[in-house]
Structure 1
């Protein structure tokens, strides 16, 4: 595949001469956090991390995300964490967009460059550091793992987007494709974090309305997204949260591909008690 492009925020502040206009939207069905609001003063510092800041895009709060948390994490050179995950029952996906990362899992070091992807199961012993000379920025998705009797929990793995062929959606002639890092039929996994790609003119031609909750971080390009009853323009660097059953569709007008990192919860019975 061609060398992929991934947008990461740079922080900073707008000049005092800018007008107070942007595209941020918060509703009961969806939220849009545009890249223009990802500034220095809205970052968080995490205990146990050095030379690191994070933009928290989603966390479980009433009226927002219920199944997951998602961050953009920026690590300066020589920064990182030896114990990044504070909760033993939480699994993670790390996807690197800029810079370099050394990810160590159970004593084995993996060197990640842009496009690098890692699944880290609940209870995994892992650490992360930036060995490069520029900031490393990655998306970090965290979810409580739902154990099931008779099904072994997944093992950790590290791969790259560049090594996985996208799977075209049926009857789309490749205009809509998904890069799947996990087999959809593998019931050990209770979440998928994939990359969805639309070529210019590609569409979701119906209003998807389903139980899965979504976090979408736009890696490249622009499009108009149908969220509940609204058409919303989005571009690289924007984040969208979609509540379960929020109707959704998409039109990618170009001029280049429109691509996003997609979280969804999958493969588990609905808990009623």
Structure 2
């Protein structure tokens, strides 16, 4: 199995963790304590499962470190399952079915339900790190999703809720064929949400840079680069950036474009 951060041997201090797990509500998962999982189809890869239905999520998030010969040639996804990959660092070759894409840092690929995703490290003798997502697609009569690929560096930078120091980037088109979206939200030091949010959507968020304080169900919790946050439906949530040298930025998923089911 092994640990995500490769720390081994005897502990140097008291056993403690910043992790907070409240199933069906929220979770903060730092890198310390994460383990590597063996997931069929991923070869020469260190795969760590973050959110899953066992936590209360309707999706599964992963951090995948592709070693120099890392690959998934068996295909990631399934009938009725949509997938998304974001390159945190490195270079990979990805395919949506037989459609190839070269993705570097900031690159992404969305595959609609039934389109298999294939992945291969293309970073020479270096690793590549990926944020990976899958979810059962909720179809809507008369509408369908399509393959989407690009790079976050080329996405429009939107002033979030009219605030120039909070930037939102949307990865997927805003039409009813999509039942989810992926975003990056970035706060300049000192910036914050305009209010504490309460809504039906759930999120899985991986922090790409900086540090902040995050309100999760009215508990203020310090978070930083490399941490992962799960927020269930109706979990109170908001954050603000701390520090002086870089934005507090995270990539996160959001279910959308569907009515609530009875």
Same fold (TM over 0.5): yes
Matched, 1:118 2:113: no
Q: Which moved more, 1:118-127 or 1:137-146?
A: 118-127
User: Which 5+ residue runs of structure 2 have no aligned equivalent?
Assistant: none
Aligned equivalents of 2:61 and 2:4: distance in 1?
18
Quote the residue 1:96 is aligned against.
87
2:120 paired with 1:129 = yes
Q: Distance in 2 between matches of 1:227 and 1:49?
A: 33
Q: TM-score, normalised by structure 2?
A: 0.93
Q: Secondary structure at the match of 1:212?
A: coil
Distance 1:248 1:80 in 2: 36
Partner residue, 2:6: 12
8 Å contact from structure 1 (residues 199, 254) kept in 2: no
Aligned length: 256
Provide the secondary structure at the position in 1 that maps to 2:173.
coil
The 2-side partners of 1:116 and 1:243 are apart by: 27
SS at the partner of 2:153?
A: helix
Matching residue of 1:6:
none
Once the two structures are overlaid, the 10-residue window that deviates more, 153-162 or 125-134, is: 125-134
Could you say what secondary structure the match of 2:32 adopts? helix
Matched, 1:219 2:208: yes
TM-superposed CA distance for 1:81, in Å, is 1.2
CA distance in 2, matches of 1:52, 1:116: 19
Matching residue of 1:161: 152
1:72 pairs with one of 46, 63, 68: 63
1:235 paired to 2:231: no
Of the three residues 136, 142, 147, the one matched with 1:150 is 142
Matched, 1:27 2:22: yes
Structure 1 residue aligned with 2:181: 192
Q: CA RMSD in A?
A: 1.6
Which aligned segments of 4 or more residues in structure 1 are displaced greater than 3 angstroms?
none
Cα-to-partner distance string for 1:191-239 (whole Å, 9 max, x where unaligned): 1111001111111131100000111110000000011121000000000
Q: Residue 168 of structure 2 aligns with which residue?
A: 178
CA contact (8 A) 1:46 1:53 kept: no
SS of aligned partner of 1:65: coil
Output the CA distance in 1 between the equivalents of 2:92 and 2:105.
Answer: 9
Partner of 2:237: 248
- On the 8 A contact 1:205/1:250 being kept in 2, the answer is no
